[in-house]
């Protein structure tokens, strides 16, 4: 599955797990990317990789 949102460009980011003792270990935050059919401005239907925050915000229109 794709790792980058084709609408907003959201991608995985790295950081640290921080324990109560302040011991740190590397980790990743991955966006929830879905492969959906989208209706473009010119009316064509295209399959795109879109994050769920863009879907919820209405930045793309899903094809039925």
Q: Using alpha carbons, select from 15, 16, 1, 10 the residue that is nearest to residue 51.
A: 10
Q: Could you tell me which residue, 64 or 7, shows the higher pLDDT?
A: 7
Sequence-distant contacts of 37-41: CB under 8 A, at least 24 apart: 37/62, 37/63, 38/62, 38/63, 39/63
**Per-residue pLDDT at 13:** 97
Rg of the chain (C-alpha set) = 16
Q: Model-level pTM?
A: 0.82
Position 1 pLDDT exceeds 80:
no
Dist. CA 15–CA 27, nearest whole Å? 5
Domains of the chain in start order, with CATH, are 13-62 (2.30.170)
The Cα–Cα gap between 32 and 54 comes to 10
Position 2 confidence tier, pLDDT thresholds 50, 70, 90: confident
pLDDT in tens, 12-54: 999 999 999 999 999 999 999 999 999 999 999 999 999 999 9
């Amino acid at each position: 599955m794709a790792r980058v949102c084709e609408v907003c460009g959201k991608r995985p980011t790295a950081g640290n797990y921080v324990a109560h003792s302040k011991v740190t270990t590397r980790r990743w935050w991955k966006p929830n990317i879905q492969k959906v059919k989208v209706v473009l401005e010119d009316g064509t239907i295209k399959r795109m990789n879109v994050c769920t925050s863009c879907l919820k915000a209405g930045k793309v229109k899903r094809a039925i």
